[in-house]
Amino acid sequence: MGCYYLGGEEILRAWGYADEEHCRHNAVRDGSGWHPPQHGCPDVELIRDGQAAVVGLAVRAPNGEWVRA
């Protein structure tokens, strides 16, 4: 299982088997708690400061909303 943190907050978990190329499941956490696990890899976008620096991360929750951290 991969647990992903940003700014000290866990926002994403992704898991599967070591021999698989991609995630089998993922779960996204926002201010109200964990969303139900979904099949496959999560949709993730990097948030940049207008230059090349990454300043945040957005992960799509099962309801279609983007969780930003």
Residue among 49, 9, 45 nearest 29 (CA): 9
The structure's pTM equals 0.77
Measure the CA angle with vertex 4, ends 38 and 62; round to 5°.
25
pLDDT band at 43 (very low <50, low <70, confident <90, very high): very high
H helix and E strand count, the chain: 0, 8
pLDDT at 12 (0 to 100): 92
Q: What is the DSSP string of 42-62?
A: PPEEEEE-SSS-EEEEEEE-T
